[in-house]
Amino acid sequence: MKALRLFSSAAVALLAFVLVVSAQTQAPPSGWPVFWYKGIVTNKAASIYNPTNEFIFPSVFHAGRWLKNPLAEWYIYYAPHDDPGGISLRYSNSLEGPWTEYPKNPVISRNWSPHYSVPHVSSPDAIWNLEANNGNGRMIMYFHGSNSVTRWAYSDDGIKFGYGGVAVTNAMGGPSVTETSYARVFRHPDTNSRYNYGMFYMGNERDNIRRIRLAESVDGKTWTVSPNYVVAPGPEEGANVSGGELWNWGGQHYIIYHGSSGKAYARTIDRTLRQVGKTPIVLFAGRGDPSGDRVAAPVVVTRNGQTYLFYEKGDRLGGTIAWAKMAAQ
């Protein structure tokens, strides 16, 4: 009897252990978007600026809301990953495309005299900064170049940029940081914070594990890096996580990002950006895309009741910009 009880409690403990170890993702809450792959934004064969036949890191900007005479309602920025990179622009009146390539890409290149000359610039992220330009507002574009520094530039039309400066560097993350790139910037969700802007970016370290870090800023130009990680990869994600972005769904904030597993994930995050869910929820793993391609660098845009996911599809050095749409529920 005693032996049996001992055995069964051991079995229960083993079962609990198995459940914990296999529960690497958690089920999404009700009302979670079910995205279906719809197509490619950047047709490589027809591209004017296409130095390396690969494009990464979409950033969707609502030009019609913020700019005086935009080329179209929506802008999407992206860039090649490899040298020479180059921040590139397409535009469309519809989030469903088709997207027209700006004929004189790149709008920001790897040489910008006298500010820098680097092997590549990539990972654009454009936001509208309300306080800039004496409160009249201005686009601020974040991008890395090269991998050890994320910079910012500013623009009134999204095409011609003035150089701003350095936003975050390896040194700001501490002595073991070796890369500071793939930043996305958003309005700080904590109204009690003294900061107006938050940034998630990827920090690589000497252990060659890529984690997502947090920086905060009053003006979007001068940044303070938080010493703690926001997301470090777990068994689900693999060796690297990157492409962090803030997203609100159903009144809950999430950090959305991608892992080495080739999927995009979401974890809950509180408005201080410091309490992060331990178990990821799958955001998108390529449903409807028969290629089985990797999903990375997710951004979600909701407009007029329709919700879209823009992302980088394909292996890291053969990527292209793609979109998916949430099915009606």
**Which residues are near ligand NAG by CB under 6 A?**
210, 238-240, 260, 316
Q: Which is nearer to ligand NAG, 23 or 317 (CB)?
A: 317
Contact 242, 264 (CB under 8 A): no
CA angle 296, 301, 305 (to 5 degrees): 140
Least distance CB 140 / ligand NAG (angstroms) = 26
Q: Which is nearer to ligand NAG, 210 or 253 (CB)?
A: 210
In our burial notation (b when 16+ CB lie closer than 10 A, e otherwise), range 227-246 reads eebbbebbebbeebbbbbbb
Least distance CB 117 / ligand NAG (angstroms) = 23
Least distance CB 252 / ligand NAG (angstroms) = 29
Least distance CB 292 / ligand NAG (angstroms) = 16
Both tokens assigned to 66: 């913020």
Q: Which is nearer to ligand NAG, 129 or 204 (CB)?
A: 204
Q: Which is nearer to ligand NAG, 253 or 263 (CB)?
A: 263
138 vs 140: CA distance, rounded Å: 6
Q: How many Cβ atoms from other residues are within 10 Å of residue 65's Cβ?
A: 10
Least distance CB 238 / ligand NAG (angstroms) = 5
The number of residues making up the chain comes to: 329
- Using only the alpha carbons of the chain, give its radius of gyration: 21
State which amino acid sits at residue 211: R
In our burial notation (b when 16+ CB lie closer than 10 A, e otherwise), range 205-220 reads beeebbbbbbbbbeeb
Q: Which is nearer to ligand NAG, 122 or 129 (CB)?
A: 122
